[in-house]
Amino acid sequence: MKILKSFILLICSLLFILSCANPSEEEYTEIKQYFKNTHNYEIDNDLQAVFVLTSIGCKPCNNSFSQFMLSKNYNDKAIYLIKASRNVIDLSEYKNYKGAIFYDSKFEDNIFSNSKVIFINDRKTDTIINIEALSLEKSFRLIENKMLGENKSNISMK
């Protein structure tokens, strides 16, 4: 039984690690160009994260992610990109959100093709956390820790 638990923990850890990307100037450029070309919005240097909500994948996960996004007040540090269908996820609560929020109903196979949080640091993508069923709770904890500016070495992955 201990071996099975260890194996499951190892698999979940590997999936989580694989869902995080390495820093990249190219991804940051793609993000910056997307917002400039599609939404006529210039990303400033203080931006810490881009929250992307889609209808792709696990519906309960995306609904939980949407509630997580709405429950946090990161409006001066993050922008929200909603690519989810109103038929799949209730988007009515976003009308009251005070920060930068953008809607895009077009599906394109790019950096915004699934629900995730893209962390930006020094004009590069620092970390990308994909919202997936197996690592949902860990992802939310990591997002909150990074948005609060806690040191990476203090983040517990348990």
> What confidence tens digit (pLDDT) does each residue in 127-142 have?
888 887 667 777 788 8
pLDDT tens digits for 84-112?
Answer: 888 888 888 888 888 889 999 887 778 88
**Is the overall model pTM greater than 0.75, yes or no?**
no
Encoding tokens for residue 65?
């992610």
Q: Quick check: 123 and 3 in contact, CB under 8 A?
A: no
Distance, first Cα to last Cα, the chain:
19
Domains of the chain listed by start with CATH number: 2-154 (3.40.30)
* Residue percentage of the chain with pLDDT more than 70: 77
Q: Is the pLDDT of residue 48 over 80?
A: yes
Res 91: pLDDT: 87
- The CA angle 30-129-22, to the nearest 5 degrees, is 60
Tell the residue number behind the tokens 């309960």, with chain if given: 60
63 vs 108: CA distance, rounded Å? 21
